[in-house]
Every structure is written in C-alpha cells, then in structure tokens.
Amino acid sequence: MKPVRVAIIGNPTVGKSTLFSSLTGIGVMISNYPGTTVEVARGSATHDGVTLELFDLPGVYSLDMTCAEERTVLDFLAEERPDVILNVIDATRLERNLYLTLEVLELGLPVVVALNMMEEAHAIGMEVDAERLSRLLGVPVVPIFLHGGLGLDELAHALFHPAKGKRFMPRYDRHVEEFIRQLTGMQMGLSRYDAIRLLMGAAGERYPEGVRSAAGLMREEIERTHGERIEEILASNRYGAAGLIARAVASQRPSRATLRERIDGLLMSPVSGMAILALIILGMLLIVFFVGGFLESVIVGAFDSMIISPASGSLVAHPLARVIVTYTLIGVQAGLGIVVPYIMTFYVLMSLLENSGYLTRAAFLLDDVMHRLRLHGRAMIPLILGFGCSVPAIMSTKTLQTRRERIITSAMVCMVPCSARSIVIMGLVATFVSVWAALSIYLLMLAITIMVGYVLGRVVRGEEMGFILEMVPLRVPMLKDVVDKTWMQMREFVYVAFPLLIAGSAFLGLLQYVGVLDYVNSLLAPITVGLLGLPPYAATALLFGILRKEMALETLAVLAGTAQFSLVLTPLQMYVFAVFTAIYMPCIATVTMLSRVVGVKDTLFITCLTFILALVISGLVAQIVPLLAAIL
C-alpha cells in the first residue's frame, strides 16, 4: 500500500516538531528545501501496517507569501502534493492559530487538526471543546496531551481517514465574494482558492494573462470602494471568523495572577530581567568552559594514549601509512573533542533555554542593544554561544529571520574568542607573558567584534526587518525535547563537518610527509618572519591551527621542541602569535558550518576578512611595539 504523505503546518512554537518526533521517532532526515535555508524535516511512522510519511514544514503565521518560510510552505504544497495536511494548533492561543487554519482549509486538501498544548490550556484555566471545534470546522480535530502521550494513536488514525464532509470556509465581504463567484464561474477551472489568490495579486504565472488582469481590475475596484487594501479586508474577515469560532469552543475560567505570570514579570522587567539574563549568560559560559573543557581533556587524552599512540607505534615500519593514519585519527580526535564536550553541553543548555521559552524573553530585553548594530535582539544568542564554540553558534544563526542578519552575525561570531582560542591565549600569553596581556587580547577581540558588527551593519545590504517576535509561553521543558534537539544538532555536525575535518587532517599529514610544509614555511616567511617577526616554523603551526585552533599551540610546541615557550620565543612573539591565532581564519569545522548557513561566497568573504584583519592587527602590534619600546 502506498504511504500516506502528510505535511505538518502550524504557527511557530506550537509544538509541531515535538509532535513530529513523537510520531516518527528519531529516524529523521533534515534537508534544506531547494534554494533556501528553510529546512524541511522528513520522517516516517507505521500504523496498522500502513506507512505515514511526514514532512515537518517551517512554522508560519499565514500563507500569504510575505516571508521565505511562507513561500517554502506554499511551494512545497504545490510541488509535493501531500495527501493530507496536519494543522497543529496551540489551544492556549486559539484565535491566532485558527487564522492559519482557515487559510489551510481554503487550500482544498484534506485536513486534520491536532489541538496541541491541552495540558497548558488546562493549567491556565482554559477548556477547549474539541468535538465542537471539529463540527464547526468540518474536519477531524484531535486533542493532544503530549506530556502524557495521549492522542497520538487517534491522530494517526485520523490521518488515514480524513473525513470528506462539508468544511468551514471563511466568508468574505459581499463585494469580494461576488468577484470570487465571477472568477470561479469563468469556465476556466478556477477553484475558490485560485480566485482568492488572484484577487490578492499573489498568483504567479500559473494563471493565464487575461484572468490575471481581470482579477487586477477587480482588486482595484474593491480597494477603491473600501479605501482599504484587499489584504486587510481578507485578513479582518478571517480574523473575525477565527474569533467567533474561538469564542464558541473555548471557555476561560477567571484566573488569579499565577506563579507563572509572576515569574514572567520578573524575567522581563528592565532591572531584574537584565540581572537574571547576565547570570544566565555567565552561568552558561562557566558551565561550558568547565564541563566542556573537562570532557575535552578527558576525551582528547584518552584518544591520544589509547588509539593514536598505539596506532602510530605499530606502523613505524611504514612511514607513509603511519603519517596518513595518524593524521586521520587526529582529525577524528579533533571532531570528538569539539562535538561531545562543547556542542553537546551547549545544546543541552540551549534547548533548556529555548524550550522553556526564555530565549524569546532574552531577545526582547536585548533588542535595544543590538539595534545599534542594526540587528535584532535575537542575534545576541549566537554571539553568546560563540564564547564556547563557533560551530553551534553559527548553526544557531539559522533561526535569524533575514539573510543579512545571518551574514553579519556569523561574521561577528567568527571574531568572538571561542574556548579553543582561549586555550591559546591562556596557554601562551597568560602563562608566559602576563594575565593582563591576555586580558588585553580579549578586549581587543571584543572591540573587533563590535567594529565588525558596526561596519557590516552599515555595509551589508538586504532586507531589514524591525523587531517583531512572538513570546513563547513559559513552560517546563520536556526531557525528550532536550535530548532530541541535542542529538539532532550533534548529528548534523557529525555528518557535515566530520568528513571534512578528517580529510583535511589526512591531507595536511600528507603534505608534511612529502615535505611541502618546509616549502610552505619558506614561502610564507616574508609574512611570518618579515611582517610578524615570528620564527619560520610558526607558518606550519598556524596552518595546523586551521584544523582546530588550539592545535596551533600544540604544533608550535612540537616544532619548537619544547612547551616551555619562554625559552624559544620573546613575549612580543608570543603575544603576536596569540593575536594572529585568535583572529585569522575560523577553524575548518566553523568554515564548513558557515558555508552551510550563509553559502560559499559569503564564507569566502568572511574568511578573507578575518585573514586581512589578522594580518593588519598583529602586523601593527609586531611593528609598533618595538618602536614604542625604543622611544620609551
């Protein structure tokens, strides 16, 4: 029997993805819909011997094609022609959610409505009559209690048998209805939905020119007599209907100010809110730094002693194989050293913040600060993540609304000193020069980050969208969601960045074996020795730093023949090396993630930018400090 194809549509943050993964388990494929960064997750479930193929579409508020997500959803529906639409709605925000439901009903495809968040509705004193809603809408409505796992079987059953009764259609203004009748009566096979799209002027080349111009005239006529845009007329009719339905099926017990509301008030007040935000950010950084750092040293150490050393020892007789195997293993080690400690720890914390609804509150509080960089409050989140590891930070820029913001924020993230760069700054400068010198590098990086944001904010063109963000109601995060989300992020990194990391590492090993590295050292000498005043072998160290930033330091130790850097390098050399390492080219895992998020062209642009900045700034330090010293 052919699988039933189901497209899941709903507002953002109504628990679509949770419902999706409850139905499908974790065997999910995430793919970017062609030509966009908007993602569509695909998974399947079997019920009574029949397979359901589910597509989790991005969250949207309407189907009017005003943003990339809405276009993706409509394109998907037009091209993939799913058998059923599963419309997920949030019982606690019924009226707003039903607006989209009414648009979905107009599409004409079979529809099943999942009435989600029933437990939350109950908690705030709301009762929703699902049966009555089903009768009014004319499609099956299944109440879902996700915490208790109730309703999933009924939902699967309904998806196989979406009733084909008479469904509710929003009635529009008399004038609009008249024109819809005229358009559908033109003997051109136009449906009610086609007619509405034509009147809104949103229909593409699918319709013949004559029909489009006729609809254009009708639109002008309507807008002229009403003195309103047609979008507004339709929206207000739909919202009118949504409001009536919502009032008919939901009842609200008068509730006193709950604990939840009082907590929410504290989280969003300017003073207490900011204090809590600062504590949370600090707490996150500390946890990631310490827990991540600890896990990393355990993993890297164990990998060294248990796998790399024995493997390279056993291959002494075959130098080429030895180099390739060792470096491949170093690549694996580098990947494990990032993924498990940092990405996992971060995503556990992040999904706690996100699923509890706190992130939207943080964005609200920070909007003003970010506004000066012509960015959204939301862009603050990746920057905070960047102190731990740039990879998940850049991954998280996918949640930003416009491409312009994604590019600016990613470029800024590349300048935030991640924990690997902290290792170089701490291990070299703080240990062998002074703590103050190390601190000055952090301040320098902070200044560069802000400068990059300020300049790019004015240079990068593109859609600027004002700050409009729906607050996710505060909830207690579900353990399953946190685990799922963390796993999905780790998997994405493993699939995308791991192969490159390993191949890149093996390639570097090969280069060293055939002696190219010495050649590279002498080739780059004018820069490393001439401009930066470093020893020639620093070029190799910096090359390895591309794999993983702290490897620059480790390689430097190997090449210098000692980890007691003060014996072989001057304080200025150490400072310059650390500054250069902190700024130049993001590590290969970051670059891979960048190209996934902002595309190859802008990745090249950002990478070049960091290179130039690194050369200029560390070059200046190397050249000016001796001059100053001579004068003083």
DSSP 307: I
Residues 212-241 that bind other proteins (CB under 8 A): 228, 231-232, 235-236, 239
User: Binding to other proteins by residue 148, rule CB under 8 A?
Assistant: no
User: Binding to other proteins by residue 127, rule CB under 8 A?
Assistant: no
3-state SS assignment for residue 375: coil
- In the complex with other proteins, the residue whose CB is nearer, 68 or 393, is 68
What DSSP assignment string belongs to 109-162? S-EEEEEE-HHHHHHTTEEE-HHHHHHHHTS-EEE-BTTTTBTHHHHHHHHHS-
- In the complex with other proteins, the residue whose CB is nearer, 335 or 377, is 377
Which sign, positive or negative, has the C-alpha torsion 294, 444, 399, 611? negative
- In the complex with other proteins, the residue whose CB is nearer, 74 or 524, is 74
Tokens of 96: 């707003």
Rounded Cα distance, 82 and 245, in Å: 27
User: Binding to other proteins by residue 259, rule CB under 8 A?
Assistant: no
Q: What mask of x and - would describe binding to other proteins in positions 367 to 396, judged by CB under 8 A?
A: xx--x-------------------------
- In the complex with other proteins, the residue whose CB is nearer, 13 or 328, is 13
- In the complex with other proteins, the residue whose CB is nearer, 168 or 239, is 239
User: Binding to other proteins by residue 67, rule CB under 8 A?
Assistant: yes
State the minimum distance, in angstroms, from the CB of residue 569 to other proteins. Answer: 47
Q: Which of 62, 399, 431, 570 binds other proteins (CB under 8 A)?
A: 62
Q: Which of 5, 47, 50, 64 binds other proteins (CB under 8 A)?
A: 64
- In the complex with other proteins, the residue whose CB is nearer, 169 or 268, is 268
Largest CA distance in the chain: 91
Rounded Cα distance, 516 and 535, in Å: 18
User: Binding to other proteins by residue 123, rule CB under 8 A?
Assistant: no
User: Binding to other proteins by residue 80, rule CB under 8 A?
Assistant: no
Tokens of 361: 């509150």
User: From residue 213, how far is each of 188, 205, 375 by CA, in Å?
Assistant: 14, 12, 40
State the minimum distance, in angstroms, from the CB of residue 235 to other proteins. Answer: 5
CB of 482 closer than 8 Å to CB of 355: yes
Q: Stretches 27-35, 130-138, 264-272, 284-292: which one binds other proteins (CB under 8 A)?
A: 264-272
Nearest Cα residue to 390 out of 544, 579, 594:
594
Spatial strand order in the sheet of 111-116: 29-32, 39-47, 50-56, 4-10, 84-90, 111-116, 141-143
Helices (H), 151-208: 152-160, 174-184, 192-200
Sequence-ordered list of residues with C-beta below 8 angstroms from that of 46, at least 6 positions apart, any chain = 52
Q: Which of 363, 380, 395, 415 binds other proteins (CB under 8 A)?
A: 363
- In the complex with other proteins, the residue whose CB is nearer, 92 or 581, is 92
User: Binding to other proteins by residue 124, rule CB under 8 A?
Assistant: no
Residue 128 CB-density burial (10 A; 0-12 exposed, 13-18 middle, 19+ buried): buried
User: Binding to other proteins by residue 122, rule CB under 8 A?
Assistant: no
User: Binding to other proteins by residue 629, rule CB under 8 A?
Assistant: no
- In the complex with other proteins, the residue whose CB is nearer, 157 or 371, is 371
Residues 443-472 that bind other proteins (CB under 8 A): 463, 465-471
Rounded Cα distance, 632 and 627, in Å: 9
- In the complex with other proteins, the residue whose CB is nearer, 475 or 596, is 475
CB of 542 closer than 8 Å to CB of 584: yes
603-612 CB contacts, 8 Å cutoff, 24+ apart? 606/407, 606/410, 606/411, 606/414, 609/411, 609/452, 610/414, 610/415, 610/583, 610/584, 610/585, 610/586, 611/584, 611/585
Sequence-ordered list of residues with C-beta below 8 angstroms from that of 84, at least 6 positions apart, any chain = 4, 5, 6, 7, 109, 110, 111, 112, 159, 162
User: Binding to other proteins by residue 621, rule CB under 8 A?
Assistant: no
Sequence-ordered list of residues with C-beta below 8 angstroms from that of 27, at least 6 positions apart, any chain = 43, 44
Q: What mask of x and - would describe binding to other proteins in positions 556 to 595, judged by CB under 8 A?
A: ----------------------------------------
User: Binding to other proteins by residue 94, rule CB under 8 A?
Assistant: yes
Residue with tokens 């729906």: 470
User: Binding to other proteins by residue 95, rule CB under 8 A?
Assistant: yes
Tokens of 152: 């999933």
User: Binding to other proteins by residue 96, rule CB under 8 A?
Assistant: yes
Size of the site for other proteins (CB under 8 A): 39
28: left (phi over 0), alpha (psi -120 to 50) or beta: beta
CB of 624 closer than 8 Å to CB of 632: no
- What is the distance, to the nearest Å, from the Cα of residue 440 to the centroid of all Cα atoms in its chain? 31
- In the complex with other proteins, the residue whose CB is nearer, 367 or 405, is 367
User: Binding to other proteins by residue 270, rule CB under 8 A?
Assistant: yes
Q: Which of 360, 521, 540, 581 binds other proteins (CB under 8 A)?
A: 360
User: Binding to other proteins by residue 358, rule CB under 8 A?
Assistant: no
Rounded Cα distance, 559 and 600, in Å: 33
State the minimum distance, in angstroms, from the CB of residue 354 to other proteins. Answer: 16
Pairing of strands 29-32, 39-47: antiparallel
Q: Which of 33, 76, 99, 575 binds other proteins (CB under 8 A)?
A: 99
Q: Stretches 92-100, 435-443, 517-525, 549-557: which one binds other proteins (CB under 8 A)?
A: 92-100
Residues 35-54 that bind other proteins (CB under 8 A): none
User: Binding to other proteins by residue 246, rule CB under 8 A?
Assistant: yes
Q: Which of 133, 203, 365, 394 binds other proteins (CB under 8 A)?
A: 365
State the minimum distance, in angstroms, from the CB of residue 100 to other proteins. Answer: 8
State the minimum distance, in angstroms, from the CB of residue 600 to other proteins. Answer: 27
User: Binding to other proteins by residue 364, rule CB under 8 A?
Assistant: yes
- In the complex with other proteins, the residue whose CB is nearer, 13 or 390, is 13
CB of 498 closer than 8 Å to CB of 586: no
User: Binding to other proteins by residue 272, rule CB under 8 A?
Assistant: no
State the minimum distance, in angstroms, from the CB of residue 260 to other proteins. Answer: 12
State the minimum distance, in angstroms, from the CB of residue 538 to other proteins. Answer: 46
- In the complex with other proteins, the residue whose CB is nearer, 357 or 586, is 357
Nearest Cα residue to 424 out of 446, 441, 443:
441
Q: Stretches 57-65, 144-152, 305-313, 494-502: which one binds other proteins (CB under 8 A)?
A: 57-65
Rounded Cα distance, 467 and 380, in Å: 13
State the minimum distance, in angstroms, from the CB of residue 64 to other proteins. Answer: 6
User: Binding to other proteins by residue 66, rule CB under 8 A?
Assistant: yes
Q: Point out which residues bind other proteins (CB under 8 A).
A: 61-62, 64, 66-67, 92-96, 99, 228, 231-232, 235-236, 239, 243, 246, 265, 268-270, 360, 363-365, 367-368, 371, 463, 465-471, 473
